[in-house]
Structure 1
Amino acid sequence: MTTPTAPRLGTALARLLVLAAALLGVLLAGAAPASAHAALTGSDPQDGAVVATAPKEVGLTFSEQVAMSPDSIRVLDPSGRRADTGEIIDLCSGAVVKYGVALRAGLPDGTYTVAWQTVSADSHPIAGAFTFSIGAPSATSVALPEQAAGGGVVGALYGIARYLSYAGFAVLVGGGAFVLLCWPRGAGVRPVQQTVVRGWLTLTGATLVMLLLRGPYTGSGKLADVFDLDGLQAVLQTKTGAALTSRLLLLGAAALFVAVLFGAYARRTDPKERKDLAFGLGLGGTVVAAGIAGTWALAEHASTGIQPGIAMPVDILHLLAVATWLGGLTTLLVALYRAPSVERAAVERFSRVAFVSVAVLVATGIYQSWRQVGSWSALTGTRYGQLLLVKIGLMAVLVGIAWISRRWTRRLAERAPTLPEPESGSEAEGAEKDLEDEGLENEGLADEAPDDEDAGDDRPADADADGEDAPEEIDPERAAQLARQRAAVATARRKKARDADPERTGLRRSVLTEAAVAVVLLAVTTVLTSTEPGRTEEEAARTGGTTAGSTAVPDRPVDFRLPFDTGGVDGKGVVRLSLDPGRTGANALHLFVERPNGKPLDVPEIKVNLTLEEKGVGPLPVAPDRIQTGHWSASGVQLPLPGEWRIQVTVRTSEIDQTTIEKNVKIG
């Protein structure tokens, strides 16, 4: 049987990283950059309204609490100049979240643009714009930025930093838990140490990047503003800034934990002292890990919406379970490939720990899904619900692969070990570390070593390469070289025996597959945490609000006129269409066909098609009934989703003369 080698490990890990980067890029590119928890549910004046006199202020109503700054609401006149005073007015009352901005006196007639940008309570930026007119509508020269809040290069970098922070947290917490709970001897194994330390470095670096990018991410969107110290100071005063700063402080405590785990604990030989130190590390490590997980729970989805007092502890448990499972899986993968040996008992213990972690993960995940989705329709009809279904599918695949890994683990347990495991702190283990420090390849040394059974015995250190007695005083450097060679031979033999074990080979392959799926799962989870929950998206649609980044359109009847010309005799006229109440759900449709002089025109046939291109809905045909001359009507016209609908009206004035006219209108 062919066994995995170091080059194959490198290839496998490289493919894993490429897969992670590719999938993360696709997910981040497909995610709406301004997805958030809050939504604009109303405005005063309403979008498209025409008021007789200039209002004293413009008010915006949101579904949840938001953070406002002096530039959060801007009112621009038809020429693009600021028409507001920049003074944000708190109009909140009870459960109503409403803010406004005062307008200047003496504003002329025309169309005014209201552009707003703020940050929702779960840390995500939201933005939008709408118009209203004073006196009568007019042309406007206002050009709003095409890039949505939280998008562009800054948004992509921030999303990558979020992913790396989750990955670093999982490796740091899961690696430490794997050593303490499953493989205490792993505290002295160099590859395991490097893995956990890299997890700490990744989480720390990603947190610093998020802190620096936070200002431009929620504000200008310009990468150069990373170096704006005033913006950084403003970020530190926000809830998210406080959470990121707290995370950095807790990472200082985590660094002390890592230093003790791989220092004093790894060197401790007395069983009682080692047990006491392990208890202290376990207790302190759990507190620090829970604190770091709490920085996510306090600043994101768990802190808003329904039942935040229950949701935040559940979210912390969820994150700890994910980290223990996936981080432990990563550490086990490294140990199976790079460590000289891993005890079968350690693999069995991790299997039990992983089972408990998955049980906690499922229980907390069910609660979170109910809280964030809320209905079966939101599970399939919203982006959050669709991503959640993908995550559930990946979890099912991961559990299936884990079941295969457990079977390989049981097979390992059924076989008695063929080689003794080296004790912690032994001379051979110290020699192995020396070899790793010098970058020597164990396999190469093993090939150069003799194949006889005496190659790894305890020959005197003063024997030369030919087996003859050396002088009484041997060169210390040569003696050290011989000692390293003997240790390398012993290590190579153990590795050869390990790689020849089919059960261990099967376990390594199944764990590698688990890790690959876990990378994909973590990418989906990262996008899910920055996507508007399905519950709030449906609630915003029902109340006539919009999701972040969209223009607010209140519910009101849709009325417009469309001129037509079929080209035949008596083929010119106007279709006046009315859609009431002009929102998602059932609507009443009325069409009035008039001649150019305004009198009713009787036509043989009129048809209507409704299409929502952005959601791939339609065309939905509507066949109105003739009520009287020039009046056609249809009841119960269903508009299932909000958005910009294209309404096409086909008018036939004779057997051969007909035309189709259309108009786009925003619904819900």
Structure 2
Amino acid sequence: MTATAPHFGPAPSTPAARRPLAAAALLAALVGMVFGLLLGGAGPASAHAALTGSDPQDGAVVATAPKEVTLTFSEQVALGDDSIRILDPNGKRADTAAAPRDLQSGSTVKYGVSLHSGLPDGTYTVAWQAVSADSHPVSGAFTFSVGAPSKTAVVLPAEEAGGGLVGTLYGIARYAAYAGFVLLAGGSAFVLACWQRGAGARPLQRLVVRGWMTLTVATLAMLLLRSPYTGSGKLADVFDLDGLKAVLDTKPGAALVSRLLLLGASALFIAVLFGTYPRREDEREKRDLTFGLAIGGTVIAAGIAGTWALAEHASTGIQPGIAMPVDVLHLLAVAAWLGGLTALLVALYRTPDLDAAAVRRFSGIALGSVIVLAATGIYQSWRQVGTWSALTGTGYGQLLLVKVGLVAVLIGIAWMSRRWTARLIAGGGGAEPDTEAESGDGTGGSEPEAESGTGDGEKPRAAASGKSEAPSGAPAPSGAPAEGPARAAQLARQQAAVATAEKKRIRDADPDRSGLRRSVLAEVGVAVVLLAVTTVLTSTEPARTEEEARASTAAAAPAAQGPVSLKLPFDTGGANGKGTVRMEITPARTGANELHLWVDGAGGEAMDVPEVKVAFTLESKDIGPLPVVPTRLTEGHWTADGVQIPMAGDWKVAVTVRTSDIDQTTIDKNMKIG
């Protein structure tokens, strides 16, 4: 992400004006090159849990009911007592309803659920719901059959975990939390680092305070919505105290509580920044207070950013020890850039006394934020995407491309802002020298403006009508009460408001300044959309994990191709005992299959034999032999329908051929099925 802040100052020469564009082009080229190298050399990783395997597998048909069902995940998950349910064909619980057993071994994340004994044949449904290590709920379902597939009365919820009204409200709260943090941290940084006189400007005070309130309310809402969001999905469970207590014991719950505590500290920071700080007149004291506020504000902002890094994508997958600090830097850079840009927009519209030095300082901060965002964004993309196919073939990758497109739009608007700035400077615009009224209390005229109702640049009624108030030292008219200190102060504020309104009127008449304000407003508008896309991106399954889940599903899914054929020569030892059995199984996958056998004599002609039997054995899993007795269809042709293959593997197929009452033989050969 990048942006070029308006830059008041001496008009640049033509080479100097082109220099930032050349630098931006070089930076874009370097970013593209590094991005390509990282994606090209990416290795395996995961974040956002996915089901990578199960026993029995999805769609498998087993001869007898298993004692337990196991599920394997790509990463650590949090499971409740009722997170894995096994339902029989009638929709009743087939498991013992006990808490899932942790069967983890090394890096394998596996959980098991025990089943009741004596389960009848039919199709069973496994429904599961968990919370991945990056705090997002995940869910799914699959089926397996005992004996043979059957109809099932199980109806699963249409919505996935984290969906519905609760999911929508939680998503809104997430967006509000990001926006509040951007305004709180970025607005405060703009005041401290760029325009310290702005600490007395009420529009900037309101901006930062509203950011704090938004972040606080959004965090409380997320804390209350967390239990139904990851559990029942019912809005009424917001008031479930047991659910809230369970949330507080989780990593996301602890992160939200920590954020609330840090927001308490930030309230004190805001009180000092906009209360004590503007009233400091001694330069040394103000310098010391600036340093203290800068250190304290940075620590608080980094701590709040860390509550996201601690509980979301950065905390899981590869290199979490590096990813979490990088994520904190990324969030701080976003806040410094977008929050500072918003504060600049407010200053341009609501505080006409913004000086050139403040905008120049913000330009430097914006450039630093761009560099940090480029570096951290490349690293995050490598962790979560990994390959070019994942960039274009997954929802996460496509959202990332939309985000890149929005950044490109921002670059274009920023270039327009720079042109307006150059025209404004060439036309003699920019900040005017400080007037006596402006420097009297350090407010930049904003406080009188707010009190007199001239925030939109309109002149007070007295000024508009051509009348002016009497000076504070003039005698009161005959019959009027004598003026006191309060009246004198009121007249002084009104006079300052008139001066401020007149100054705003003159500046608003400048088309170059108006053009600059519109372009900065457009930047902020695109930034709002960009922040929304980023919020959705942080709750979307990373591209790496999605591709891993696809690969696991493809490996475990029954093969759709077929048939598979075998040729088995035999010799029963009697007269006319030599021949060949040709066997074909279709579609050669787990579940029901169709079997055809052709028995040919030594000369290749159809050979009629009294009996043929077949048995399947999967020695690697100690399954079988599973007998199959085909039916004679015509001379030399035998068939069997509904041959059940419980799981994929390298099966040993044994064929017994009897050519007379005493002459028979059994031949076998391995066949890959599924």
> Normalising by structure 2, what TM-score?
0.73
In structure 2, what is the equivalent of residue 421 of structure 1? 434
Flag the 1:100–1:401 CA change in 2: closer, same or farther, 3 A: same
Q: Structure 2 CA distance, aligned partners of 1:560 and 1:440?
A: 80
The one-letter amino acid paired with 2:434 is E
Report how far residue 428 of structure 1 moved: 9.5
Flag the 1:309–1:418 CA change in 2: closer, same or farther, 3 A: closer
Listed as ranges, the matches of 1:83-232 within 5 Å are 83-87=94-98, 88-232=100-244
Q: Structure 1 CA distance, aligned partners of 2:127 and 2:493?
A: 71
In structure 2, what is the equivalent of residue 507 of structure 1? 516
In structure 2, what is the equivalent of residue 41 of structure 1? 52
1:360 to 367, 372, 378: 372
Could you say what secondary structure the match of 2:587 adopts?
strand
1:437 to 441, 451, 471: 451
Listed as ranges, the matches of 1:650-665 within 5 Å are none
Q: Structure 1 CA distance, aligned partners of 2:141 and 2:462?
A: 74
Q: Structure 1 CA distance, aligned partners of 2:230 and 2:545?
A: 21
2:458 is aligned with 1:449: no
2:499 is aligned with 1:521: no
Flag the 1:520–1:429 CA change in 2: closer, same or farther, 3 A: closer
The one-letter amino acid paired with 1:436 is A
The one-letter amino acid paired with 2:433 is P
Report how far residue 445 of structure 1 moved: 4.0
Q: Structure 2 CA distance, aligned partners of 1:301 and 1:418?
A: 44
CA RMSD of aligned residues (A): 3.2
Q: Structure 2 CA distance, aligned partners of 1:472 and 1:156?
A: 61
Show CA shifts across 1:406-455 (max 9, x none): 34445555647674324666269598525523646675544642798x96
Q: Structure 1 CA distance, aligned partners of 2:446 and 2:204?
A: 14
Q: Structure 1 CA distance, aligned partners of 2:431 and 2:540?
A: 52
Show CA shifts across 1:276-324 (max 9, x none): 1111111111111111111111111111111111111111111100000
Flag the 1:430–1:121 CA change in 2: closer, same or farther, 3 A: closer
Report how far residue 401 of structure 1 moved: 1.8
Structure 1: which 4+ aligned runs deviate by more than 6 Å?
A: 468-472, 579-582
The one-letter amino acid paired with 1:183 is W
Question: Higher relative CO (CA 8 A, sep ≥ 6), structure 1 or 2?
Answer: 2
1:247 to 255, 259, 266: 259
Report how far residue 98 of structure 1 moved: 0.6
2:341 is aligned with 1:341: no
Could you say what secondary structure the match of 1:82 adopts?
coil
Q: Structure 2 CA distance, aligned partners of 1:329 and 1:222?
A: 39
1:302 to 284, 302, 314: 314
Report which of the two structures shows the higher radius of gyration computed on alpha carbons.
Answer: 2
In structure 2, what is the equivalent of residue 531 of structure 1? 540
Q: Structure 2 CA distance, aligned partners of 1:556 and 1:166?
A: 44
Could you say what secondary structure the match of 1:159 adopts?
helix
The one-letter amino acid paired with 1:515 is V
Show CA shifts across 1:51-100 (max 9, x none): 22221111001111111111110111222221112221111111111111
2:271 to 243, 249, 259: 259
2:72 is aligned with 1:79: no
1:62 to 56, 73, 83: 73
In structure 1, what is the equivalent of residue 297 of structure 2? 285
2:63 is aligned with 1:52: yes
Q: Structure 1 CA distance, aligned partners of 2:75 and 2:442?
A: 63
2:493 to 484, 495, 498: 484
Report how far residue 579 of structure 1 moved: 7.2
CA contact (8 A) 2:187 2:339 kept: yes
Long gaps (5+) in structure 2: 1-45, 564-583, 599-605, 607-636, 638-673
Q: Structure 2 CA distance, aligned partners of 1:472 and 1:105?
A: 98
Flag the 1:383–1:427 CA change in 2: closer, same or farther, 3 A: closer
Q: Structure 1 CA distance, aligned partners of 2:354 and 2:595?
A: 78
Q: Structure 1 CA distance, aligned partners of 2:137 and 2:431?
A: 59
The one-letter amino acid paired with 2:450 is E
Could you say what secondary structure the match of 2:359 adopts?
helix
In structure 1, what is the equivalent of residue 507 of structure 2? 498
Could you say what secondary structure the match of 1:345 adopts?
helix
Identity of aligned residues (%): 67
Could you say what secondary structure the match of 2:66 adopts?
coil
Report how far residue 503 of structure 1 moved: 3.5
Show CA shifts across 1:436-482 (max 9, x none): 23646675544642798x969x9453256xxx899894366654443
CA contact (8 A) 2:558 2:589 kept: yes
Could you say what secondary structure the match of 2:125 adopts?
strand
Q: Structure 1 CA distance, aligned partners of 2:77 and 2:191?
A: 43
